[in-house]
Amino acid sequence: MKFFIDTANLAQIKEAQELGILDGVTTNPSLMAKEGVVGKNNVLAHYKAICDIVDGDVSAEVISTDVQGMLREAEELCEIDPKIVIKIPIIADGIKAIKQLSAREIKTNCTLIFSSGQALLAAKAGATYVSPFIGRLDDISTEGLEIIEDIRAIFDNYGYTTEILAASIRGPMHIINCAKIGADVVTAPLSAITALLKHPLTDSGLAKFLEDAKKFNV
């Protein structure tokens, strides 16, 4: 399973990259705003800074809602770096844009997926990734992981190569359950990724080993 980090925070991206497990980055306008990145030139420069840190795909989201606007933005974003993947919302014009970009072999990530039907349409249009938001479904008392299971079954039925990129991850159990189901990618905050490292028996076991190791030196 691929690990992407879901942030526009450069320090956190560096930390995940240095851990040696990072396969890519996803961003969205809210994550960029959270880092105080405003103004078109600053946004483009920030994407470049992310691409310079990470080895792998970097999703950059369009803010147009019409197909021509999306394609114009895609052109500009693609000029930043070959790692850029064009993130496009699942609306009718988004599907049209994905279809055209896919025909030109430009990678796309279809976002704001909340149903398996939406994922099916995005795959049919040739999206490289679909991003189902499981945490936001959990937030409204729906089982977010079920959509990952459904999409996995549908894609496997027809051999779609579109990758399931589980997004809106809230914690380590989301990551583990996505891995059990067979999501191709999870994009998570750094805290959810590093939480996978933690176990109290590891901490106490290591403390005991280090304590006993002191006996070697006497």
Active site residue 87: yes
Residue 129 touching ligand G3P (CB under 6 A): no
Residue with Cβ nearer ligand G3P (2 or 136): 136
The nearest distance, CB 26 to ligand G3P, in angstroms, is 5
Q: Which of these segments, 38-46, 63-71, 132-140, 203-211, binds ligand G3P (CB under 6 A)?
A: 132-140
Q: Which of residues 146-165 bind ligand G3P (CB under 6 A)?
A: none
Binding mask 174-193 for ligand G3P (x = CB under 6 A): -------------x------
| Closest to 29 measured CA to CA, from 97, 89, 107, 99 | 89
- Rounded alpha-carbon distances, angstroms, from residue 47 to 55, 73, 79, 81: 13, 13, 11, 9
Chain CA centroid to CA 157, Å: 24
Tokens of 75: 């052109």
Distance CA 116, CA 155 (A): 10
What is the chain's alpha carbon radius of gyration, rounded to the nearest angstrom? 19
The nearest distance, CB 135 to ligand G3P, in angstroms, is 5
Interhelix angle 144-158/172-181, nearest 10 degrees: 20
Residue 7 touching ligand G3P (CB under 6 A): no
Chain contacts with ligand G3P (rule: CB under 6 A): 6, 26, 28, 133, 135-136, 167-168, 187
Just list the catalytic residues.
Answer: 87
